[in-house]
Structure 1
Amino acid sequence: MRRLGKVLHISSMTGHLIVKARTVPRVGEKVYDGELRLVGSVFDIFGPVESPYVAVKPLHSLVKPVKTLFLSEPRRRKK
């Protein structure tokens, strides 16, 4: 698992989780919490190139607040 970053807040308009990213993910990539439960997927990447922010669209409303999010490791293709 790769660490995506820290959740800053939840958007009141859209319900998306706004994350200060440590690595730049791909749009649509699955996002997990610390207990390896699927939280949602990457919806948008915005902000400066040096320190991007990521909007994560959650699958459902979060009952338990999440502080840190993770990405799954990309699968390697066989040749």
Structure 2
Amino acid sequence: MKKLGIIEVIGREGFLVIKPSIGVREDLIGSRVYDSNLRRLGKIVDIIGRVEDPRIIVKLESKDLAATIRDYLVYYEHVRKERSKGR
């Protein structure tokens, strides 16, 4: 598990906006996101903003999680996507 960044916005619609503390790459989309207690919060669904100042969008597993987030530092676990065998 690696440090992802700091939560800037906790949306009522079930999304987080994170200011990354790492270099942002497109292959982060789909990675799982956790809090410091290793509780799974959701997954990365998009990267927005300027290249020099991006933000990461995380869709929460449940909208109810938004009310329980106490720690603003989040971590991620990269999920490798399997290639389809296009035959």
TM bucket, shorter chain: 0.7 to 0.9
Cross-structure match for 2:40:
38
Name stretches of at least 5 consecutive residues in structure 1 with no aligned partner: none
Larger Rg: 2
For residues 59 and 2 of structure 2, the distance between their equivalents in structure 1, rounded to whole angstroms, comes to: 18
Kindly indicate whether the alpha-carbon contact (under 8 Å) linking 2:31 and 2:79 is maintained by their aligned counterparts in 1. Answer: no
For residues 37 and 79 of structure 2, the distance between their equivalents in structure 1, rounded to whole angstroms, comes to: 19
TM-score (norm 1): 0.78
Cross-structure match for 2:72:
67
Cross-structure match for 2:83:
none
Cross-structure match for 1:9:
9
Moved over 6 A (4+): none
TM-score (norm 2): 0.72
Amino acid at match of 1:68: L
Change (3 A) 1:43 1:73: closer
Shift of 1:37: 1.2
Across the aligned residues of Structure 1 and Structure 2, the Cα RMSD in angstroms comes to 1.9
Amino acid at match of 1:16: F
Cross-structure match for 2:85:
none
For residues 39 and 15 of structure 2, the distance between their equivalents in structure 1, rounded to whole angstroms, comes to: 17
Shift of 1:65: 2.9
Shift of 1:21: 1.0
Q: Which has the higher helix share?
A: 2
Shift of 1:74: 6.6
Shift of 1:20: 0.5
Sequence identity, in percent? 34
